[in-house]
Amino acid sequence: MTSHLVTGIGELVTHDPRFDGPLLDAALVAVDGRIAWVGPAAEAPAADRRTDLSGAAVVPGFVDSHTHLVFAGDRAAEFESRMAGTPYTGGGIATTVAATRAATDDELRTRLRSLADEARAQGTTTIEIKSGYGLDVDTEVRLLRLAREVTDETTFLGAHVVPAGIDRDDYLALVTGEMLTACAPHARWADVFCEPASPVAFDGDEARAVLVAARAVGLGLRVHGNQLGPGPGVQLAVELGAASVDHCTCLTDADVAALADGDTVATLLPGVEFSTRSPYPDARRLLDAGAEVALASDCNPGTCFSTSMPLMIALAVREMGMTIAEAVRAATLGGAHALRRDDLGHLRVGARAHLAVLDAPSHRHLAYRPGVPIARGVSL
């Protein structure tokens, strides 16, 4: 048993209801990777090791609950053409699928590890990673095995799009049958891109079939929904008890009410709206209705090639009507709830001792200093 005392914390965001907001001049103790004590520096107990942060602010490590980090290839030209006015439809996913299928495990692993390191260097201490650029049995299994080398939070996204060269119904049978059976041992979650507005994604009935089959083999559920237009994704996610429905860009009043009443977290991905030049989701409307909101990066080569959770916080504050405190909460505790993890996203006693240490005196700098690398992830 090793105890580690961290002192000199100028401002500490814990999300602990015992405290009224952030603690100033704080300290914490971790024992074997868990928070054992949090409080004013003057009351800190002794410990085996000691680190002084010289006044830095600390928030819980970011929980990025939505990424697609296992892929090969480059879609910078697609991004450039989108900036010139071409709309996003999901069609570019096929480009990444072709490059990913052709890549070796080592090529995929090198890219994956460098992106995961990049995320940690910006304060992310937990990351969810989806498959979905394989779309055949062998490649989907390969992607999930690689993702598992980096995180326990792996998600089977065979139902990303219907790939070229296979009939739609045959592909649905594969994703709910042989591919699911092969992938389930390597995944905690299943996800589906439910988007009637896209020619390549899945409609409500298809998405329901995917989710029901995944649930039957013990996977938790997540949904990509309501990104490109209104659709059944949100209602389906809430009805089936999905942990999260992600994007939530185009919501009706009934969708907002369902999210407020249900247990499904609304995960907003503002990097996608930034990188597809689309209107941002209305976070204020969701929060005011009482829905739980998470922020995630959706890092992927098509719609948002950024691992930066501080960027997502800055966008949420500048563009989506969230206060800085709400955005930091959504990027930490919200992400943890979107992954149904009660040991992450806060710094109460018993939590994982995962920190984002800021080269700044206050958590406000996460939105106030956009684009500046002030956060780093630390696991004690």
Give the nearer residue to ligand NIG in terms of CB position, either 14 or 65.
65
Binding mask 209-248 for ligand NIG (x = CB under 6 A): ---------------x--x---------------------
Give the nearer residue to ligand NIG in terms of CB position, either 14 or 226.
226
- Which option in ligand NIG, Fe ion, none does residue 286 bind, with CB closer than 5 to 8 A by kind? none
Asked if residue 298 binds Fe ion (CB under 5 A), the reply is yes
Residue 49 and residue 284: Cα distance in Å, rounded? Answer: 43
Among 9, 93, 108, 219, binds ligand NIG (CB under 6 A): 93
Tokens of residue 93, six digits: 């996913």
- Which option in Fe ion, ligand NIG, none does residue 303 bind, with CB closer than 5 to 8 A by kind? ligand NIG
Q: Which long-range contacts (CB under 8 A, 24 or more apart) does 74-79 make?
A: 74/99, 74/301, 75/301, 75/302, 75/305, 78/302, 79/275, 79/305
φ and ψ of 153, to 5 deg: -90, 75
Asked if residue 111 binds ligand NIG (CB under 6 A), the reply is no
Buried b (16+ CB within 10 A) or exposed e, 238-266: bebebbbbbbbbbbeeebbebbbebebbb
- Which option in Fe ion, ligand NIG, none does residue 93 bind, with CB closer than 5 to 8 A by kind? ligand NIG
List binders of Fe ion among 137-156 (CB under 5 A).
none
As measured in angstroms, the least distance from the Cβ of 130 to ligand NIG is 8
Candidate segments 5-13, 86-94, 253-261, 279-287, binder of ligand NIG by CB under 6 A: 86-94
Give the nearer residue to ligand NIG in terms of CB position, either 235 or 300.
300
As measured in angstroms, the least distance from the Cβ of 121 to Fe ion is 22
- Which option in Fe ion, ligand NIG, none does residue 193 bind, with CB closer than 5 to 8 A by kind? ligand NIG
Task: Please name which of 237, 255, 214 lies closest in space to residue 338, comparing C-alpha atoms.
Answer: 237
Candidate segments 21-29, 38-46, 80-88, 298-306, binder of Fe ion by CB under 5 A: 298-306
As measured in angstroms, the least distance from the Cβ of 41 to ligand NIG is 42
Binding mask 239-278 for Fe ion (x = CB under 5 A): ----------------------------------------
Asked if residue 191 binds Fe ion (CB under 5 A), the reply is no
As measured in angstroms, the least distance from the Cβ of 196 to ligand NIG is 13
Candidate segments 108-116, 144-152, 297-305, 361-369, binder of ligand NIG by CB under 6 A: 297-305
Give the nearer residue to ligand NIG in terms of CB position, either 12 or 70.
70
Candidate segments 88-96, 214-222, 281-289, 341-349, binder of ligand NIG by CB under 6 A: 88-96
Give the nearer residue to ligand NIG in terms of CB position, either 56 or 293.
293
Residues interacting with ligand NIG, by CB under 6 A? 90, 92-93, 96, 193, 224, 227, 272, 298, 300-303
Residues interacting with Fe ion, by CB under 5 A? 298
